[in-house]
Amino acid sequence: MAEDLTVTRMGYGAMQLAGPHVFGPPADRDAAVAVLREAVALGITHIDTADFYGPHVTNQIIKEALHPYPDSLHIVTKVGALRDAEGNWPQALAPEQLRQAVFDNLDHLGLDALDVVNLRVGGLDRPTPGSIAEPFTVLAQLQQEGLIKHLGLSTVTAEQIAEAQSIAPIVCVQNFYNIANRADDELIDSLAAQSIAYVPYFPLGGFSPLQSDKLRSVATRLNATPMAVALAWLLQRSPNILLIPGTSSVAHLRDNVTGAMLTLSKDELTELNSVAS
């Protein structure tokens, strides 16, 4: 993502480590700790999180499992949202909310500076258009103060990315994208041309796991799982794509790391390109 920020293309998304609906503690905290330790043991150097997962729970488990962190490990967090009592994800983009969120992340992760902070702007599955100059400037100031090393954006439009880049450089964009939801195809290519990482969230469909006959049929022919094919397709889609599939299971984590390495032929890629249509 940047010279001091080299990560494995296979990362891990920690959202599934909180309790049901990303609220409260997980039923089995030891199992959550085991997943994180296995991720690092498998060589993963990129973990995605947010202090509003739980809230606070995911970051606290990451700290318990992995602190003091290996030098190679990069934890990417995001700010700009909260959880409310109904389980919604309202925006929290006011300057004081953003500052507090950065301090909460530092505290709960046990860090002096955050490797990457994404400004999360839109809703759970789509951007909310409009200026992001004010909140992004707050993060740029926190970067100047040394509390954040690199900046990124999440759930944003191409226009919002351009606006942010006129304020400070970004290293990554994290938006909703997978083999069946390809609204960002053009954006991915334009970010690749700028050497900016694109990190799709819900790579396996998130709360609604991917369901596709075409995906299943290719997977069956390759003696692989649909999840493995979906991850391998993303890695072959563009060199700037980094993966952060989420799981609360060590077995699924291992499957995902192995499965993503599957090589898809040109014909298989062509066939899979029509999953979205």
| Residues near ligand NAP (CB under 6 A) | 13-16, 48, 78, 120, 154-155, 174, 201-206, 209, 227, 244-249, 252, 255-256
- Residue 217 or 266 with smaller CB distance to ligand NAP: 217
Is 53 catalytic? The answer is: yes
User: Which tokens in the block code for residue 267?
Assistant: 């014909």
Q: Which residue is nearest to ligand NAP (CB)?
A: 246
Q: Which of 53, 177, 198, 201 is catalytic?
A: 53
Closest contact distance (angstroms) between CB of 266 and ligand NAP is 25
- Residue 130 or 270 with smaller CB distance to ligand NAP: 130
Angle at 233 between CA 230 and CA 234, to 5 degrees: 90
- Residue 128 or 144 with smaller CB distance to ligand NAP: 128
Scored b (16 or more CB within 10 A) or e, 73-109 reads bbbbbbbbbebeeeeebeebbeeebbbebbebbbebb
- Residue 67 or 126 with smaller CB distance to ligand NAP: 126
- Residue 144 or 211 with smaller CB distance to ligand NAP: 211
Closest contact distance (angstroms) between CB of 186 and ligand NAP is 20
Cis preceding linkage at 135, omega within 30 = no
Closest contact distance (angstroms) between CB of 242 and ligand NAP is 11
Closest contact distance (angstroms) between CB of 261 and ligand NAP is 13
Closest contact distance (angstroms) between CB of 184 and ligand NAP is 13
| Residues annotated as part of the active site | 53
